[in-house]
Amino acid sequence: MQVPAQVEYEKASSVDHALALLARYAPGARILAGGHSLIPMMKLRLAQPEVLIDINGLTSLRYIERAGAGLRIGALARHADLLASPAAGELFAILHDAERVIADPVVRNWGTIGGSLCQADPSEDLSAAFAALKGSMVIHGPGGRREVSARAFHAGPYETVVGPQEMLTEIRLPVRPNCGSAYTKVMRRAGDWPIGAAGAVLWLAGDRITDVGIGLTAVGAAHFAAAEAEDFLRGRVAGEEAFARAGEIAAGHCDPASDQRGPAEYKRHLVRELTARVLRAAAGRARGSVNP
């Protein structure tokens, strides 16, 4: 049986207390939220923190709410919270699409949004969804609060811009009218990591695309996004020809690895097809949307 190395444990009573504990024990401390990613890595000795700082009692970080021109998601909101949120589903169908295919009910009931993002797995579903939505992350640390874009949040596989004395506290998503979104993925079995996945967000004026976000995961896309395909689509009429070409561009700019989930060329094929598919679904939802 695999067991983690010995580790000290602290339970934070507030965000300020958690930051104080991080300052005391950094760089050997890790935040413990849901633990569904961290604990397995500790069992395999791929992660060996000296101190775990448990923040599960910080209920002030567990919320999903509309605030002005945006949607705010606390870092301790669970996957199940996001899936059950009427506001999230009505504003951004991509979030419910993604949550329905993330793991299983046990993981969704305990795993946190912030924990998933901070794990920075290159196959993480919500990283692609938030990249498509052009969201931003709020990070608290000794110097106060700072906000970074979702696309700048991940510095590489299993690495984020969150410093050793900082913690992610909130995700912010801008709300704009005439928006539609969608997410889909191909996986070997229900709840598995994706072989390839794509999400899209479209903002329309009539049939013309005023802005677009395309998120990709598990296929080696820089910053979980297909920026070149987005550049191609802006200002164009939302239709099959444009969507197919965007899929080709996205496939050409990703860098998937051949592994046990499939060869690189198969994954590029998935990018091409899935990108066109989610753009089509997002356009349909945008045409039927009501201004928020």
Indicate the residue type of 218: A
Using CA atoms, how far residue 210 sits from 144, 149, 201, 236, 237, in Å, is 35, 20, 11, 8, 9
In a domain, 26, yes or no: yes
Query: Does the pLDDT at position 45 exceed 90?
Result: no
Specify if 3 maps to a domain: no
Q: Tokens at residue 151, please?
A: 């696309």
Does 169 share its domain with 207? no
Which CATH number characterizes residue 13's domain?
3.30.43.10
Among the candidates 174, 195, 222, a domain finishes at 174
Residues 123-142 have pLDDT tens digits of: 999 999 999 999 999 999 99
Q: Would residue 129 count as lying in a domain?
A: yes
What is the percent of the chain where pLDDT is above 70?
Answer: 99
Q: What is the CATH classification number for the domain harbouring 237?
A: 3.30.390.50
Domain assignment present for residue 109? The answer is yes
Q: Domains in the chain: how many in total? A: 3
**In the structure, what pLDDT confidence band is assigned to residue 1 with cuts at 50, 70 and 90?**
low
Where does a domain end: 174, 209, 226? 174
Neighbour-count burial of 92, counting CB atoms closer than 10 A to its CB (0-12 exposed, 13-18 middle, 19+ buried):
buried
Count CB atoms within 10 A of the CB of residue 193.
18
With tokens 């931003």, the residue in question is: 136
For the question of whether the overall pTM of this predicted structure is more than 0.75, the answer is: yes
Residue 185 belongs to a domain? yes
Q: What is the pLDDT of residues 153-188, one digit of tens each?
A: 999 999 999 999 999 999 999 999 999 999 999 998
Q: Are residues 164 and 239 in the same domain?
A: no
Statement: residue 4 has pLDDT above 80:
no
Residue 39 falls inside a structural domain: yes
- Residue span of the structural domain in which 41 resides: 8-54
- CATH classification of the domain holding 123: 3.30.465.10
